[in-house]
Amino acid sequence: MLITRKLEFDAGHRISTHNSQCRHLHGHRYVIEITLSGNIIADEGVAEQGMVMDFSEVKRIAKSALVDQWDHAFLVYSGDTKVLQFLQSIEDHKTVVLDVQPTAENLALIAFDLLDEAYQDSYGNHLRLEQVRLFETPNCWADAVRETR
């Protein structure tokens, strides 16, 4: 059985090597869809009977492992030294430094890895992260899928 939970967060970034508008500092209202697989819990009398996982738990783990860190942060590539130095000059600025350009594709892959570990740590083999879909805009998204990792 597959279940999916959607969350949203706001973050800024730029693609420093790009030749379009994306090279400028800007932000997005990101939407992330987290798809997990597992068996439906059949145990009598447990709160999760009939569920793969309580959706509120999917959200809690995702917020703790990813969303709370990225929400209202600036996601910056470590090689983007001008912007990184600028952000570091701002006291208490929420900055997430990445080893790769913060494209939708790279962010989806990073999110997959962070969330995969978080769900595995919390639920062992009962659940398996199958896909992370990250919308940069309503019309543009990237999918990180387990079978292609």
The letter for the amino acid at 110 is I
Supply the pLDDT for residue 125. 62
Query: Quick one: pLDDT band at residue 147, thresholds 50, 70, 90?
Result: confident
Angle between helices 55-62 and 104-123 (to 10 degrees): 120
- pLDDT for the residue 137: 97
The catalytic site residues sit at: 22, 72, 136
How do residues 90-132 score in pLDDT, each as one tens digit?
Answer: 999 999 999 999 999 999 999 999 999 999 877 666 789 999 9
Cβ count near 72 (within 10 Å):
11
74 closest CA partner among 58, 92, 93: 93
pLDDT for the residue numbered 47: 83
| Nearest CA among 52, 84, 78, 65 for reference residue 9 | 65
Q: Which domain holds residue 105?
A: 2-148
The CATH number assigned to the domain holding 106 equals 3.30.479.10
Q: What is the pLDDT of residue 92?
A: 96
pTM for the predicted model, two decimal places: 0.94
How many domains is the chain partitioned into structurally?
1
List, for residues 16-59, the tens digit of each pLDDT value. 999 999 999 999 999 999 999 999 988 899 888 899 999 999 99
**pLDDT confidence of residue 127:** 86
* For residues 137-147, average pLDDT: 97
Q: What is the pLDDT of residue 121?
A: 74
3-state secondary structure of 51: coil
Mean of pLDDT values over 56-73: 98
Q: What is the pLDDT of residue 42?
A: 87
